[in-house]
């Protein structure tokens, strides 16, 4: 379909409708002169009850053409919720035609200087100026939701509407109130599994950041006015989405605290952890049907991190206590372990050990290793006899002052080397990482990152034992050679305010996928060229944690992880096909299977 340069669309034209049946959806994205617009997101938000994904997203090609994958059983009319969007673009018109079991849409977009409705929350963070101040702000404020999210921006508008005589004082008092409120919610959320039901909490007692005044000052000075104008934001790297890229999103009915997701089974199902309840939500990717699998405990563990193993079983670690669970998706059978050290001490499990294939990995004695966020330790448990032991990580003298000022050093991520002799860990609270030899029981390091607010969270390791660390606070990824104990490089992300939560090694593409919490994108880092690509996600509030990779098709699996129920944001697990054909099998939701026997 070609358009003359002077062609302009006026209104939505309805030329027929495609009745219910096997309907294809395709079309073009153009500007007001009829010129094609490549790389634009086209999102089909499907009606409630539609079979399969809740929403499907594709991207326009160089000639502006797009086509949604598969066919759709529902009737497609001009009123269908299908829209196009892009950074710095605004949809101004839409044309619809129908025929031959195909619904065709043409979207007209125009450039707009004000990017407030299309840029991510991270775009405003550069107002903080000083990079270290920015890192400290991210570490304090972007933990359960994005900042400034739409709700935060709306709050800024309400402050501006006060028209106070002393506008600065009004902002300071208003931001002080909301910071205390959010800290109360955070403390309430993270304490649910450890409090007695009748315990009353004081907001003053649970204020969780030691430097709250600095946070309020940053909000007061950096976010004046209504926060409804934003210009000149760019992704900072090429968009790697193509006409073959597709995203399938599956909403979980609220209330929930969806945390992480993986894909397993035959037929393929998404398994999403609900950290607010003792359940794992299973979602059939073909039909969209959902089923709850409840962890068989009479106390709240809060399923937190998910790990798949090489026997197609799902391992779950808790948010609130020291219970580990394992689910056999094929049979629905559960097994749980409540871990105690030989001294009777509980553990605070966060991550289980996995290797370059992003599957659970044991040492040569069959023990599973874990990061202990509660005791700042590494440890193991033996699934055969339930025995467990931990080793507290050594302090980094260079960071003693920072830990004293800001609190716990929070041992966080964990990976295992290919020979299964070492585990490596990150420490979120003090910008430190290190290793542990599981045979000699001796620590390696610690190694200190340049900033105490680096915030290393989830980590990954390549098939050549190169470790990558997502530096949440400073907006970087660190590349470290485990064999030589040498830092290769620390790379700035294209947007250093995007708050990278995790990194995942892709053993076929030989790249690192970076999940962001504040940027509404997934980054692809290629160590060979030291270059980044950007894969935009289809909606705001895309607070990501872990990315898993299906070993058959190479699709990326993740979820939007707004942890506190009252925090606004999408509650979805999703699948991304990058569309690069790197894996031998093409992903198709209608026939997908991840069963080990077909690999």
CATH value at residue 49: 2.60.40
Give domain status of residue 505, yes or no: yes
Look up the domain containing 406 and give its range.
347-455
Cis peptide before 265 (omega within 30 of 0): no
pLDDT of residue 193: 65
Give domain status of residue 356, yes or no: yes
What pTM was computed for the model?
Answer: 0.94
pLDDT of residue 183: 79
Give domain status of residue 7, yes or no: no
Q: Do 324 and 357 have their domain in common?
A: no
DSSP for 393-432 reads: PPP-GGGHHHHHHH----EEEEEE-TTSSEEEEEETTTTE
Give domain status of residue 67, yes or no: yes
Q: Do 127 and 106 have their domain in common?
A: no
* Sequence-ordered list of residues with C-beta below 8 angstroms from that of 118, at least 6 positions apart, any chain: 85, 86, 87, 88, 89, 90, 112
Q: Do 416 and 390 have their domain in common?
A: yes
The pLDDT averaged over each successive group of 10 residues in the chain (599 residues) is 41 56 93 97 95 97 97 93 97 95 97 96 93 93 88 93 95 93 78 62 54 89 93 97 98 90 95 92 97 93 93 92 94 95 88 95 97 93 95 91 64 96 95 97 97 96 98 98 98 98 98 98 98 97 96 96 77 97 94 65
pLDDT of residue 450: 96
Domain boundary residue, one of 111, 133, 151: 111
CATH of the domain at 334: 2.40.10.500
pLDDT of residue 425: 98
Q: At 591, is the secondary structure helix, strand, or coil?
A: coil
Q: Do 272 and 180 have their domain in common?
A: no
pLDDT of residue 197: 60
Asked whether 514 and 505 are in contact (CB, 8 A), the reply is no
Domain boundary residue, one of 203, 222, 241: 222
Q: Do 130 and 208 have their domain in common?
A: yes
Q: Do 363 and 327 have their domain in common?
A: no
How many domains does the chain divide into?
5
Q: Write a three-state SS string for 54-69.
A: CEEEEECCCCCEEECC
Question: How far, CA to CA in Å, does 129 sit from each of 140, 313, 472, 559?
Answer: 16, 47, 17, 31
Question: How far, CA to CA in Å, does 463 sit from each of 58, 364, 418?
Answer: 32, 18, 7
From CA 84, how far away is CA 198, in angstroms rounded? 49
Q: Do 125 and 209 have their domain in common?
A: yes
Phi, psi of 152, rounded to the nearest 5 degrees? -65, -40
From CA 346, how far away is CA 246, in angstroms rounded? 44
Give domain status of residue 4, yes or no: no
- CA of residue 425 relative to chain centroid, distance: 20
Asked whether 217 and 211 are in contact (CB, 8 A), the reply is no
Give domain status of residue 585, yes or no: yes
Asked whether 64 and 74 are in contact (CB, 8 A), the reply is no
Q: Do 448 and 504 have their domain in common?
A: no
CATH of the domain at 415: 2.130.10.10
Question: How far, CA to CA in Å, does 93 sit from each of 103, 119, 275, 401, 464?
Answer: 16, 21, 41, 58, 51
From CA 489, how far away is CA 196, in angstroms rounded? 47
CA nearest neighbour of 560 among 575, 545, 547:
545
* Sequence-ordered list of residues with C-beta below 8 angstroms from that of 138, at least 6 positions apart, any chain: 125, 453, 455, 472, 473, 475, 497, 499, 518
Q: Do 95 and 141 have their domain in common?
A: no
CA nearest neighbour of 185 among 46, 553, 477, 177:
177
């Amino acid at each position: 379909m070609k358009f003359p340069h002077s062609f302009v669309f006026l209104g939505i034209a309805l030329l027929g409708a495609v009745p219910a049946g096997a309907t294809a959806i395709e079309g073009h994205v153009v500007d007001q002169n009829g010129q094609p617009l490549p790389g634009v997101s086209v999102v089909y938000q499907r009606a409630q009850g539609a079979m399969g994904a809740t929403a499907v997203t594709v991207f326009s090609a160089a000639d502006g053409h797009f086509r949604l994958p598969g066919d759709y059983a529902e009737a497609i009319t001009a009123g269908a919720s299908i829209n196009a969007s892009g950074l710095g673009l605004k949809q101004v018109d839409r044309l619809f035609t129908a025929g031959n079991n195909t619904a065709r849409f043409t979207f007209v977009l125009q450039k707009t200087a004000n990017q407030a409705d299309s840029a991510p929350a991270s775009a405003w963070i550069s107002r903080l100026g000083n990079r270290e101040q920015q890192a400290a702000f991210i570490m304090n404020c972007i933990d359960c939701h994005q900042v400034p999210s739409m709700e935060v921006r709306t709050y800024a508008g309400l402050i501006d509407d006060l028209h106070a005589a002393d506008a600065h004082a009004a902002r300071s008092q208003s931001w002080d109130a909301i910071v205390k409120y959010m800290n109360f919610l955070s403390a309430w959320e993270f304490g649910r599994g450890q409090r007695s039901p009748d315990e009353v909490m004081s907001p003053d007692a649970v204020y969780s950041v030691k430097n709250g005044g600095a946070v309020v000052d940053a909000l007061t000075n950096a976010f004046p006015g209504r926060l409804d104008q934003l210009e000149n934001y760019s992704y900072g790297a090429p968009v790697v989405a193509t006409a073959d890229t597709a995203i399938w999103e599956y909403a979980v009915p609220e209330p929930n605290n969806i945390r992480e997701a993986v894909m397993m089974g035959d037929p393929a199902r998404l398994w999403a952890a609900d950290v607010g309840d003792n359940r794992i939500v299973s979602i059939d990717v073909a039909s969209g049907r959902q089923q709850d699998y409840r962890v068989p405990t009479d106390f709240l563990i809060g399923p937190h991190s998910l790990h798949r193993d090489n026997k197609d079983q799902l391992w779950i670690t808790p948010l609130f206590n020291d219970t580990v669970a394992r689910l056999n998706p094929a049979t629905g059978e559960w097994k749980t372990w409540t871990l105690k050290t030989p001294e009777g001490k509980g553990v605070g499990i966060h991550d289980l050990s996995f290797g370059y294939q992003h599957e659970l990995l044991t040492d040569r004695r069959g023990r599973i290793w874990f990061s202990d966020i509660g005791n700042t330790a590494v440890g193991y448990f033996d699934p055969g006899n339930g025995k467990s032991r931990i080793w507290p990580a050594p302090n980094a003298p260079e960071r003693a002052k920072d830990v004293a000022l800001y609190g716990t050093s929070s041992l966080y991520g964990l990976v295992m080397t290919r020979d299964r002799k070492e585990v490596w860990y990150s420490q979120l609270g003090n910008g430190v990482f290190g290793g542990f030899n599981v045979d000699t029981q001796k620590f390696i390091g610690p190694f200190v990152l340049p900033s105490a607010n680096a915030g290393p969270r989830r980590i990954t390791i390549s098939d050549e034992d190169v470790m990558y660390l997502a530096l949440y606070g400073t907006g970087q990824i660190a590349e470290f050679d485990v064999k030589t104990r040498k830092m290769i490089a620390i790379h700035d992300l294209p947007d250093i305010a995007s708050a990278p939560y995790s990194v995942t090694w892709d053993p076929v593409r030989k790249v690192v996928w970076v999940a962001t919490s504040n940027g509404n994108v997934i980054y692809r880092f290629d160590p060979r060229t030291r270059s980044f690509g950007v894969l935009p996600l289809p909606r705001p509030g895309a607070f990501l944690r872990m990315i898993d990779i299906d070993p058959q098709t190479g699709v990326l699996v993740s979820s939007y992880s707004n942890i506190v129920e009252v925090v606004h944001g999408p509650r979805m697990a999703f699948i991304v096909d990058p569309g690069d054909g790197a894996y031998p099998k093409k992903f198709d939701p209608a026939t997908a299977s991840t069963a080990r026997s077909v690999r």
